Structure 1
Amino acid sequence: METLGAEATRRRIADNRLDGSDAVAFAFVDAARHVAYDWHAHTGHQLLYAVRGVVHLETSERRFLLPPQRAAWIPAGLSHRTAIDDVESCSVFFRADLPECPEGVGLRILAASPLMREMIGFATRWPPGTPSDPLAESYFRTLALLCRDWTEAEMPFHLPVARSPALARAMDYAQFHLAKADIAGAADAAALSVRTLRRRFADEVGMSWKDYLHHSRLLGAMARLGDPAISIAEVAEDVGFASLSAFSKAFAQIAGESPGRYRRRLCQAARIGPDRQQNLPVESLSG
């Protein structure tokens, strides 16, 4: 993966003309692959839709996983960094002062309804630098109003970020040892007693170590399910679930669908490029 520093990230944003537009909004189809962008913030609001592949997003407070066929709302001015692997994505950037846009909303992962997907696809006829026209302005203002409704329901595809080095080490231990991680190993990584780790996790992170590990395992499974060479049972074992039934139940609780249906959507997205998606009927997009 290519890792861009701060200056290279700023140049890439400038080259793609993503900031400073006077237009109400525009759409951008990202052709980049296997890139990690450094910390940056956009002058406009971003509605990011992952057609295929998994996007990793991070703010100062949370780490987010954006699965395929889902979207992220990233408000103007929010410092974040992004890592994309083999990802196809499309974004709509709204001018920050557009009154129809959501207000007071942080970065959120959203369920991408068929309407959202169709509207983002149609919006690609107005790429960066396209002169504004009455149809575009009306269209994007309507889309911004719909974003107000969509951002009211957030999908729980995120994890907290540690404020202290000790808890950061415990979190890293969990991420790299999902199958076998336990509280004793996390305490050793953090150089803390088990009792102290439990207390500090609750105080600093706002969730228990057990809940953090459980959520980490499910997000790790979401990323692994994109590889059709690994069976669902193997994914469950790789992230630390004792049985396939327990994994399927926990996965459905967070993702709103079974691991099998989630994988089928990923496989369908992998077969359909973004150019074709714009012209497909809603039924094909929704799986």
Structure 2
Amino acid sequence: MDIHGTIKIDELKKPYFVWFEENWIHDDVLHHHQKGQLVYVESGFQYITIEEKIYLLPQNHAVWIPPNAVHKTNSHSEKIKLMIMFADISTQESFYYEVNVFSVPPVLKEMIKYAEKWSKQMTVNHNENLFLKALFNELPQFVEHSLTLHISLPKDKRLAKVIQHLHNHYRNEIKMEDLSDTAHLSFRTLERIFKKETGLTLSKYQQMLRIIKSLEYLSSGNLTISETAYEVGYKSVQAYTRSFQSVMQFRPTDFIKTIQ
């Protein structure tokens, strides 16, 4: 299936394809390609659902989507600059069959920008092939540490209202025991099923929602770190920074450097 209604990716008779849009508009539809896909956010931020997990792509970050992974784009900022690159994958190296979200280092950023000149070029180009082969070959080296910028969506229908409540009220103080009434389950059963489905406890899930939402605010550049902390429900900047560091393994100030 194609992603934009105009170019059918799997019908292209070329190993690589570059697609750049000044203000990207996606169909909000689950689809997949035989080619692997690199999505780079030059400015703005983008949510992407891949294999039932929601990932956040802040500015100057990229995601590698493996071949045939079912995905769709979700809500995004008002203006977004995306570069999308597709590649046939023949190697068995495990990297290319896993989702990776990462901060784009300067060298890769320049390579992606250089490749823009081949955007939407439908015919095979020898120089394009050589350049993009080198780019995709080096991709595992560019991804030094992948970020945990995703939350899993549970399949169990009993958790639907619980998830909805957490997403709507993540910035509030939530008494997790009260959520058992929402699911019509005992609290112990709810916790067990929720952890099995999402890999997280209820309180850890709320923490992930807060941190992911905070990354969206920080990416927009409209709020300071302290304003962001209060916006997502923390009582102090110190509490936010501790929480952020425990999830991301680095500080909010370090994140801001990666998006500049």
TM-score normalised to structure 2 length:
0.86
Q: 2:100 is matched by which residue type in structure 1?
A: R
Does 1:106 find its partner at 2:98? yes
Distance in 2 (CA, whole Å) between partners of 1:190 and 1:147 is 43
Residue in 2 aligned with 1:178?
170
Q: 2:156 aligns with which of 164, 189, 206?
A: 164
Root mean square deviation, CA, Å: 2.6
2:211 & 2:140 partners in 1: Cα distance?
A: 28
Q: Which residue of 1 aligns with 2:47?
A: 56
From 104, 108, 118, the equivalent of 1:126 is 118
Relative to structure 1, is the Cα distance of residues 117 and 249 closer, same or farther in structure 2, using a 3 angstrom cutoff? same
Q: Partner amino acid for 1:155? A: L
Distance 1:251 1:51, change over 3 A: same
Q: Alpha-carbon deviation of 1:100?
A: 8.7
> Is 1:74 paired with 2:69?
no
| Secondary structure in 2 matching 1:172 | helix
CA distance in 1, matches of 2:233, 2:33: 38
- Aligned counterpart, 1:25: 16
Contact 2:62 2:103 in 1 (8 A): yes
Q: What is the number of equivalent residue pairs in this alignment?
A: 257
Q: Encode CA deviations 1:145-169: one digit per residue, 9 max, x unaligned.
A: 1123345742100011101122232
Gaps of 5+ in 2: none
* Residues 110-119 or 249-258, more deviating: 249-258
Question: Which amino acid counterpart does residue 74 of structure 1 have in structure 2?
Answer: I
1:150–1:191 distance in 2 versus 1, CA, 3 Å: farther
Distance in structure 2 (CA, Å) of the matches to 1:89 and 1:124: 11
Aligned pairs for 1:178-197 (under 5 A) are 178-180=170-172, 181-197=174-190
- Does the aligned pair in 2 maintain the 1:91–1:120 contact within 8 Å? no
Q: How does 1:127-276 map to 2 (within 5 A)?
A: 127-150=119-142, 153-180=145-172, 181-255=174-248, 257-260=250-253, 262-263=255-256, 266=259
* Cα gap change, 1:104 to 1:130, in 2 (>3 Å): closer
Report if aligned partners of 2:20, 2:120 keep a CA contact under 8 Å in 1. Answer: no
Partner residue of 1:275?
none
> How many percent identity over aligned positions?
21
Could you tell me whether the CA contact under 8 Å between 1:63 and 1:158 is conserved in 2? Answer: yes
SS at the partner of 1:192? coil
Contiguous gaps of at least 5 residues in structure 1: 1-9, 267-286
Which deviates the most, 178-187 or 30-39? 30-39
TM-score in terms of structure 1 length? 0.78
